[in-house]
Amino acid sequence: MRKILICFFLVLFSCAPFPKEEIAKTKLEIEGLYYADLPKYLPQDWLLLKELWQKLEEVEQIKNREEAYRLNYYINYKISQIEEKLNAKKREEEEKIRQAKILLEEAKREEEKKEELKDTSSSEVKKSEITMEEQQEQKKIASLPKQKKTLEDIRYKIEKRLPSFYTVKEEDTLEKIAELPFIYNDKYYWPLIYKYNRDQISNPKRLYKGQILKIPRNITMDEIYKAREDAGAISPKNIPKRAYTPDKYKQIVNELLMEE
Over the stretch 19-50, which tens digit does the pLDDT of each residue have?
888 888 888 888 888 888 888 888 888 888 88
> Is it the case that residue 61 has pLDDT exceeding 50?
yes
Amino acid at 160: K
pLDDT (average), residues 241-253:
91
> Is it the case that residue 194 has pLDDT exceeding 80?
yes
Predicted pLDDT at 62: 85
Predicted pLDDT at 2: 47
φ and ψ of 212, to 5 deg: -105, 110
Over the stretch 68-86, which tens digit does the pLDDT of each residue have? 889 889 989 988 898 888 8
- In the DSSP assignment, the letter for residue 144 is S
- Sketch the domain layout of the chain as residue ranges: 17-120, 151-258
**Percentage with pLDDT > 70 across the chain:** 82
* Domain at 151-258: CATH architecture: Roll (3.10)
Predicted pLDDT at 122: 54
Helix (H, G, I), strand (E, B) or coil at 165: strand
The confidence band for 137, taking pLDDT boundaries of 50, 70 and 90, is low
The confidence band for 183, taking pLDDT boundaries of 50, 70 and 90, is very high
Predicted pLDDT at 188: 96
134/115 Cα distance (integer angstroms)? 11
Stronger pLDDT, 151 or 231, i.e. the higher one: 231
Instruction: Centre a 10 Å sphere on the Cβ of residue 48 and count the other Cβ atoms it contains.
Output: 14
> Is it the case that residue 236 has pLDDT exceeding 90?
yes
Q: How far is CA 14 from the centre of its chain?
A: 38
